[in-house]
Amino acid sequence: MGKMHTLAMERLIKAVLNLKSEEECYNFFEDICTIKEIQDMSQRLEVALMLSQNKSYVEISKETGASTATISRVNKCLNYGSDGYKAALEKLK
């Protein structure tokens, strides 16, 4: 098991998976995260989507406001990560 696989992380994942509606998700994330954390996560997902559409860093930065460092980090995850972004983007289709 990796460093992410802790009992606390398992509870968090189970809690998210057991939410039944968008409203429950909004409420949960609003309570558990700061507004900035939610904005950052949603921005990263948008960056991943745009990278998967082969948009340039310049286009992505202009459209999302993400720094090139953030875009690069997301790109690294898309290419060498655990395929979490890819799985999430596939489910959004």
Are residues 57 and 79 located together in one domain of the fold? yes
**Do 40 and 73 belong together in one domain?**
yes
Boundaries of domain holding 11:
1-32
Residues 26 and 58 in one domain: no
Domain tally, the chain: 2
Positive/negative CA dihedral, 40, 44, 49, 51: positive
* pLDDT tens profile 29-56: 999 999 999 999 999 999 999 999 999 9
> pTM of the full predicted structure?
0.90
The answer to whether residues 91 and 77 belong to one domain is yes
What is the residue-averaged pLDDT of the chain?
96
**What is the 8-class DSSP label of residue 78?**
H
Q: Are residues 70 and 89 in the same domain?
A: yes
User: Residue 87 sits in a domain of what CATH number?
Assistant: 1.10.1270.10
